[in-house]
């Protein structure tokens, strides 16, 4: 009979968020002592409320941009606003969360000799050029460093740089995963992401808004599949640092997604089209060959099944508990500002 792993003391930053709450739940269920650290900027207490009575779960309200001292065995660095309506609300804070948060957590990992995982993003690839579709880890990206999405895209790129410098200079045990579009229960209903937007609009019978002509493509990974891949990465003892793409390689147009959600909800919503925001990528699909090889992982949940579970969750939400984002116009005013070009 296999022996049960010895419980570890594990810190999860951003642990009350969409992904973080699922990671905390999985680790608590495995018997680890879990410290969930979050400042509730974009997350919800309801995401972790069911864990408060568990003896091996602890919550700390704290901002990762500020130093904190703990003794831990592993660190999951998941803290950062991840949707445009949230990360563009305070872009300077977003950049600080990515870079200073990574710096503070890497310092802790170095002092504690702890393994640390960085939740990076497919946004490090920017708007991929056609010859890099799907996107492999070797692709260096096509990213604007001065656009309205740069606070997030470049913040995550800088965090990756810092992780690998700590690994090379101080021998810190790092793991870097590049997360592609993920969906599922506990998504914030007003996070502005395409899945939550479409589901909410369909449930309410409102027009479904597509930015652009709907031909741009995305891949959608169900949260359970994503967490399984991240667990395998964190538990890998072969010295594999990544970065490694984690996502579902099934590719759908935004219009196909909207039509499927209308079908699954039985909604009478109509589709309307609005201008495409600045720097919004036209293609997004992961090459997961490396994850298959090194983690023996590939996603199992099909889009129709995952959407059905997500729609059921959304239908049970009390939307009055959730704050709508401020009415900033980052996606609408992108045409008003252009970098100066010398004539």
Positions marked active-site: 152
Contact 218, 247 (CB under 8 A): no
What tokens were used for 276? 């495409």
Sequence-ordered alpha helix ranges (H) in the chain: 18-29, 84-87, 91-112, 150-170, 194-204, 223-235, 254-265, 289-295, 303-315
The crossing angle, in degrees rounded to 10, of helices 194-204 and 254-265 is: 40
Residues in the chain, overall count: 343
The crossing angle, in degrees rounded to 10, of helices 254-265 and 303-315 is: 60
Cis peptide bond upstream of 71, omega within 30: no
CA 157 from chain centre, in angstroms, equals 14
CA 117 from chain centre, in angstroms, equals 13
Q: How far apart are CA 149 and CA 156, in angstroms?
A: 11
Q: How far apart are CA 40 and CA 246, in angstroms?
A: 25
Q: How far apart are CA 162 and CA 229, in angstroms?
A: 23
């Amino acid at each position: 009979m296999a022996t049960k792993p010895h419980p570890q003391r594990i810190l999860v930053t951003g642990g009350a968020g969409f992904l973080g709450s699922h990671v905390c739940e999985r680790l608590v269920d495995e018997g680890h002592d879990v410290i969930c650290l979050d400042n509730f900027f974009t997350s919800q207490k309801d995401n972790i409320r069911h864990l408060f009575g568990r003896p091996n779960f602890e919550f700390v309200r704290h901002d990762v941009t500020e130093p904190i001292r703990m003794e831990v065995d592993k660190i999951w660095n998941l803290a950062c606003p991840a949707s445009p309506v949230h990360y563009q609300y305070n872009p300077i804070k977003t950049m600080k969360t990515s870079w200073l948060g990574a710096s503070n957590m890497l310092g802790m990992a170095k002092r504690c000799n702890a393994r640390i995982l960085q939740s990076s993003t497919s946004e490090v690839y920017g708007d991929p050029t056609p010859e890099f579709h799907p996107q492999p880890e070797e692709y260096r990206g096509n990213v604007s460093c001065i656009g309205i999405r740069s606070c997030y895209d470049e913040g995550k790129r800088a965090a990756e740089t810092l992780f690998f410098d700590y690994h090379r200079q101080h021998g810190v045990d790092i793991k870097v995963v590049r997360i592609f579009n993920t969906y599922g229960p506990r998504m914030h209903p007003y996070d502005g992401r395409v899945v939550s937007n479409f589901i909410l609009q369909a449930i309410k019978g409102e027009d479904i808004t597509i930015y652009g002509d709907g031909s741009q493509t995305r891949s959608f990974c169900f949260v359970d599949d994503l967490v399984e891949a991240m667990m395998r990465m964190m538990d890998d003892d072969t010295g594999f640092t990544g970065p490694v793409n984690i996502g579902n390689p099934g590719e759908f147009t935004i219009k196909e997604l909207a039509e499927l959600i209308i079908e699954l909800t039985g909604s009478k919503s109509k589709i309307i089209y609005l201008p495409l925001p600045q720097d919004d990528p036209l293609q997004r699909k992961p090459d997961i060959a490396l994850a298959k090889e090194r983690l023996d992982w590939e996603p199992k949940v099909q889009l129709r099944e995952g959407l059905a579970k997500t729609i059921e969750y959304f239908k049970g939400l009390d939307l009055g508990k959730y704050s709508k984002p401020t009415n900033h116009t980052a996606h609408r005013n992108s045409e008003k500002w252009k970098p100066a070009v010398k004539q």
